[in-house]
Amino acid sequence: MSGQSITDRIAAAQHSMTGSAISKAVCKASTHEVSGPKKKHLDYLIHCTNEMNVSVPQLADTLFERTANSSWVVVFKALITTHHLMMYGNERLIQYLASRNTLFNLNNFLDKGALQGYDMSTFIRRYSRYLNEKAMSYRLVAVDFTKMKRGIDGVMRTMSIEKLIKTLPIIQNQLDALLDFQANPNELTNGVINSAFMLLFKDSIRLFAAYNEGVINLLEKYFDMKKGQCKDALDIYKKFLYRMTKLSEFLKVAEQVGIDQGDIPDLSQAPSSLLEALEQHLASLEGKKTKELTADTRASTLSSAVSSLSNTGMSFSRMDEKERQQALEEEQARLMPNLSSDLFDLQPAFLPAVQSTPSISTATSAWGGRSHTFRHKRACNIHIEIHTHTHTLTHTLINECGVFARCILSLCAPVFRPDMQWSQPGEKKLTGGHSWQSKTMTSTTAWNPAPMAPAPMPVQHMVTSVMSLPVPPSLYRLTF
């Protein structure tokens, strides 16, 4: 089935009638169309997670409702949308998901009546288990491992031994759930599963980067641990080596399905001699007879291992930086059309004199023969002149564009001199400290009625006003 179904259109119309923009966006992101969720719907939902007046429980419940659908396409796309929001949305969404007793209960999901239903249902069950594990990890440690600070002063590198031994197994469980997706290149046959695989690929890089830094910290402290801690640390390190092998297989699949080689990090394993040194150290603590390594040999082996794992960490960091740069470029490309279609274009023009517009008559000459022209794309006939001969600001506005003209005048405000003086009655000036004095001091307080402005002169399609303001030694002609 391709394109939006009748059911999708009816559901979207119902949400439009009820005024639920969030439900409509979720429905649009998880249609029956066999392609990944559209970016515009995902971006809108991300924006919703950052709005404090948006109910996150309502958003999450709407996503859960979509996973109750019988179509594998709808369910898969609802899971993808949830994963995308967990990665790029506000943290309060994953906080809410972590606070729930149950999340996605799709262990028995099976779509028997659709093309690719059996195959895709298998990946839906695996994918939902990973999202459940991701939320559970946050529930246990109150941090998203894919977003935590990394580096020599990062969270995993500065963690204490006790907390490190408790945290690394949680990362292991989440990584296991991710790698259990086990999609072969021949099984990535449509845009839906490809979208899920790309999100898993990005999560795998960030998750293993945190895992890698935790292991580096563990190795650096290994020879100072107690016997029980050494035993746990050795078991963690052995599992780490096994998961590094599985991750290599996962990255090979990513390379075969078209992900650029430059986007795939290099995995550098520690030398095998390190494992022998760790086992010998634990054996010596347990009182077993074993060959003792010299302090220099042990330090050299440990340094070599840490250097190899650090190179892997640097490779992951480069991947993160590349993705951030790509996201920045996409954002700039997205904003450029908006800027070009804004209310007006700033186009400096150097003309010998100020000329009148077809709809407005003016006879003011330009000081120094310089002017600037601003053209309004909506063809609003607004003409603004600033000249220094009379030190006046003359702005002629069409009735329909009064608000827009005030915006333009506010944009022109920064060009006025900061030392301008206002000659209004009752003006106050700062004399220092918190003392304010009036320029005109009187013995009694007299309340005089404010001077009334002269009655406006009716001009067809036009309102003219003059304000006396000092301006800098330059002239601008603004025409829309």
Q: What is the pLDDT of residues 178-223, one digit of tens each?
A: 999 999 999 999 999 999 999 999 999 999 999 999 999 999 999 8
- What pLDDT is attached to residue 348? 44
Residue 416, φ and ψ in degrees, nearest 5 = -75, 155
* Per-residue pLDDT reduced to its tens digit, 292-322: 667 777 788 888 888 888 877 777 777 667 6
Helix count and strand count (H, E) for the chain: 13, 8
Domain boundaries, the chain: 166-335
Beta bridge partner(s), residue 476 = 386
244: closest CA among 217, 227, 265? Answer: 265
What 3-state DSSP class applies to 396? strand
What 3-state DSSP class applies to 101? coil
Question: Residue 99 corresponds to which amino acid?
Answer: S
The overall pTM is greater than 0.85: no
CATH dotted code for 166-335: 1.20.58.150
Kindly list the distances between the CA atom of residue 107 and the CA atoms of 112, 127, 183, 288, in Å, as whole numbers in the listed order: 15, 10, 18, 47
CB 96 within 8 A of CB 89: no
- What pLDDT is attached to residue 320? 67
What 3-state DSSP class applies to 463? strand
Question: CA 172, CA 82: separation in Å to the nearest integer?
Answer: 22
* Per-residue pLDDT reduced to its tens digit, 39-66: 999 999 999 999 999 999 999 999 999 9
- Select the highest-mean-pLDDT range: 106-115, 386-395, 440-449: 106-115
- What pLDDT is attached to residue 162? 94
What is the mean predicted confidence (pLDDT) over 363-374? 39
